[in-house]
């Protein structure tokens, strides 16, 4: 696991580079994403931007997903959560108590996946790894 500086792209610039327009709604959604960083739901964003239509929120999230700027995480229960992606490939931790989402990188996993792909029938083109944890905060609260 590494802890190097997280490099994030200028999201609006990425959108514009792909020919998408820089609109008020998109800017305010992106602004909130950058503020929250990780573990936010679509509904949450909608609540903070009542002037922006629900459809637009989902449309924008979908766009950003396709561009790889954010990722969606399906939790065992509750609505899916979105997180800003690192530029680099990464994986997620989810606290099963509070639902907080974290990110980590581990070169060992990637090396292992390459090895594994020899033993899997078919061509491995991607993978997704989620670690379910109880985060430090939640285990502390439990012992109090």
Partner DNA sequence: GTTAGTCATGGTACTTAGTATCATTAATAT
Partner DNA sequence: ATATTAATGATACTAAGTACCATGACTAAC
Binding stretches for DNA (CB under 7 A) = 16, 19-26, 41-43, 51-56, 58-62, 72, 79-80
DSSP letter at 7? P
Instruction: Look up residue 123 and give its two tokens.
Output: 């061509």
Q: What, of DNA, a copy of itself, none, does residue 21 touch, CB below 5 to 8 Å by kind?
A: DNA
Q: Name the one residue in this structure whose structure tokens are 């503020």.
A: 35
CB of 21 to a copy of itself, least distance (A): 25
- Return d(Cα 21, Cα 134) in angstroms, integer: 41
Stretch that binds a copy of itself, among 6-14, 30-38, 47-55, 136-144 (CB under 8 A): 136-144
Q: What, of DNA, a copy of itself, none, does residue 139 touch, CB below 5 to 8 Å by kind?
A: a copy of itself
- Return d(Cα 129, Cα 116) in angstroms, integer: 14
CB of 3 to DNA, least distance (A): 30
CB atoms < 10 A from the CB of 65, how many?
Answer: 14
């Amino acid at each position: 696991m590494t802890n190097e500086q997280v490099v994030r792209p200028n999201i609006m610039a990425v959108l514009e580079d792909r020919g998408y327009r820089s609109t008020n709604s998109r800017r305010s959604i992106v602004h909130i994403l950058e503020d929250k960083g990780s573990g936010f739901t679509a509904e949450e964003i909608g609540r903070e931007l009542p002037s922006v239509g629900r459809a637009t929120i989902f449309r924008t999230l979908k766009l950003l997903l396709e561009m790889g700027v954010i990722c969606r995480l399906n939790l065992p229960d509750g609505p899916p959560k979105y997180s800003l992606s690192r530029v680099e490939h990464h994986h997620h931790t989810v606290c099963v108590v509070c639902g907080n989402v974290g990110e980590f990188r581990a070169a060992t996993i990637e090396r292992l996946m390459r090895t594994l792909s020899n033993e899997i029938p078919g061509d491995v083109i991607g993978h997704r790894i989620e670690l379910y944890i109880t985060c430090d905060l939640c285990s502390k609260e439990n012992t109090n």
